[in-house]
Structure 1
Amino acid sequence: MYKANFDLTGKVAVVTGGGRGIGRALAEGLAYAGADVVLTARTEEQVKIAAMEISQSTGRRTLGISCDVTDKDSIDAVVGKVIRDFGRIDILVNNAGTSVRHGALDLTEDEWDQVIDTNFKSVFLMSQAVGRHMVKQKYGRIVNIASVASELTLAYGTPYGPSKAGVVHLTRQMANEWAQHGVTVNAISPWFFKTSLNEKALENDEFRTALERRTPMGRLGQLEELVAPVVFFCSDGAGYVTGQNLFVDGGTTHFGM
């Protein structure tokens, strides 16, 4: 029987930046698909509340834990705790991210480092720590949240696009290295979805209207529209898919004048 298997029952997932926005939505979606979920974020109170609410709504086991994804020691401590408490890690979603709205001439070195470390370095450090475990157990699913900015330039936000382009290439590199061990690595590249990271900018009617006009579907994305692609990549149904970058963008990257 040819039946697609997107059930994540029995799997343990870790989602970085899980306290709010895209990360929280993805964590909840993975839980509804059957996974037990560990949410990490720098703000401990926020991520613990998110974990509790997801557990209450889905019935899955959850844990909210503070983690600095730019710091190897913090990551190692979290990965060790998850393995001790849950026994394994089957899924990693690298979602933590940040941005600054400065052009190249105005950007400071500290701002550059902040964005590159949070968006790019963290993906390597988390994937390395969790990947060691996945390689040993001969199974794993890693999904990296990139951006259409990995392909398109932005008017402002110089370090953001390069950091996400790095994530896409790192995705392919790790996919190539770990495929033989049963570990798949894929990326999702969203267009504009309203989150705490961009909600202030989207309050500008002119800016929001320009985005909607730039999008062939004529609207911004809804967070639930990111859940299904991530669940697919994390499932056994995507067992032969690795090294891919899926644009979830309402057609934006193929827009023609």
Structure 2
Amino acid sequence: MSLDRFKLDGRVALITGGCQGLGFAFAKALAEAGAIVAVTSRDEAKAAEGARRIREETGGQAIGVAVDVTDGGQARRMAEETAQALGRIDILINNAGINIRKPILDYDEDSWDLVLNTNLKAPFLCAKAVVPYMIKQQYGRIINLSSMMGTIALAERSAYCSSKGGLIQLTKVMALEWAEHNITANAVCPGPFATELNQVVINNPEANQFFLDHLALKRWGNPDELTGLIIYLASEASSFMTGSSIVIDGGWTAQ
């Protein structure tokens, strides 16, 4: 197979939460593969800065969009602004996420709602906003960032595990409903990656050792180690793959 099938020249990718952590690594990799990217943040200045960094580091085109992805009206505005500015939307990466760690008996409703709204409701809203543009062009790639904890559980992650497991199921429904329009939907399920979201664990010696003990590779993942899969799922190379969930976790769930 020609490596040309992995190229993204002329494609437009929208990455929620694309200004830091895994989202920024994805946006940068897609830009390096030829895509024009739009990255989002709740904060307009952070969105603009994320886009500036991508342009500077890759030489590609990028714009920033300020949006609260848990709000349906703002999600629709995000899609409209991106389509108007860049002409189309070919790739949607639902990456924005949050984790609040508490025992179930201490978990308050506000924390539960925040995690579920960010990790599960937002991908639903963003896909609803973006897919009409994909249907018009009869092409699309949806990549939902779930987690290995969508397939296994850890204590004190009730909302996170529930939201990420739900996202895997939502991905399958998306795949079934939109296949006739040449739109694929797949979920990526990362294990422990050294991102801002996980610093609270990394900085806790006992918790960090617990994670290392459960990783076959005995180390945290680097965000760049996910980008090859993202490019594959965003490209023509994955044209017959939809409704799948792919775990990249350093061997955690192999045990």
Q: TM-score, normalised by structure 2?
A: 0.97
Alpha-carbon distance, 1:246 to partner: 0.4
Partner SS state of residue 197, structure 1? helix
Partners in 1 of 2:43 and 2:187 — Cα distance?
Answer: 25
Q: Which amino acid aligns with 2:243?
A: G
Partners in 1 of 2:2 and 2:19 — Cα distance?
Answer: 34
**For 1:140-151, what aligned pairs fall within 5 Å after superposition?**
140-151=140-151
Q: Which amino acid aligns with 2:53?
A: E
Alpha-carbon distance, 1:200 to partner: 2.3
Partners in 2 of 1:247 and 1:236 — Cα distance?
Answer: 21
2:233 corresponds to: 233
Q: What does the per-residue CA deviation read over 1:32-53, in whole Å, with 9 as the maximum and x for residues that have no partner?
A: 1110000001122122111101
1:204 corresponds to: 204
Partner SS state of residue 105, structure 2? coil
Partners in 1 of 2:151 and 2:107 — Cα distance?
Answer: 21
1:108 aligns with 2:117: no
1:89 corresponds to: 89
Moved more, 240-249 or 41-50: 41-50
Moved over 2 A (4+): none
**For 1:105-144, what aligned pairs fall within 5 Å after superposition?**
105-144=105-144
Task: Report how many aligned residue pairs link the two structures.
Answer: 254
1:3 aligns with 2:15: no
Partners in 2 of 1:83 and 1:66 — Cα distance?
Answer: 14
Partners in 1 of 2:206 and 2:103 — Cα distance?
Answer: 20
Partners in 2 of 1:147 and 1:131 — Cα distance?
Answer: 23
Provide structure 2 residue ranges, at least 5 long, that are not aligned to the other structure: none
Aligned-residue identity in percent: 39
Report the aligned-residue RMSD: 0.9
Partners in 2 of 1:204 and 1:84 — Cα distance?
Answer: 45
Alpha-carbon distance, 1:201 to partner: 2.1
Partner SS state of residue 65, structure 1? strand
Partners in 2 of 1:219 and 1:62 — Cα distance?
Answer: 32
Partners in 2 of 1:116 and 1:251 — Cα distance?
Answer: 27
Partners in 2 of 1:44 and 1:252 — Cα distance?
Answer: 37
Q: TM-score, normalised by structure 1?
A: 0.97
Q: Which amino acid aligns with 1:22?
A: L
Q: What does the per-residue CA deviation read over 1:82-114, in whole Å, with 9 as the maximum and x for residues that have no partner?
A: 111111000000000011111111111111110
Partner SS state of residue 188, structure 1? strand
1:37 corresponds to: 37
2:250 corresponds to: 250
Partners in 2 of 1:173 and 1:253 — Cα distance?
Answer: 24
Partners in 1 of 2:204 and 2:113 — Cα distance?
Answer: 28
Q: Which amino acid aligns with 1:99?
A: N
Partner SS state of residue 55, structure 1? helix
Partners in 2 of 1:193 and 1:48 — Cα distance?
Answer: 25
Provide structure 1 residue ranges, at least 5 long, that are not aligned to the other structure: none
Q: Which amino acid aligns with 2:137?
A: Q
Partners in 2 of 1:45 and 1:253 — Cα distance?
Answer: 38
Alpha-carbon distance, 1:133 to partner: 1.1
1:217 corresponds to: 217
Q: Which amino acid aligns with 1:246?
A: I
Q: What does the per-residue CA deviation read over 1:170-207, in whole Å, with 9 as the maximum and x for residues that have no partner?
A: 00000011111100000100011111112122111221
Partners in 2 of 1:141 and 1:9 — Cα distance?
Answer: 15
Partners in 2 of 1:22 and 1:132 — Cα distance?
Answer: 26
Partners in 2 of 1:100 and 1:207 — Cα distance?
Answer: 15
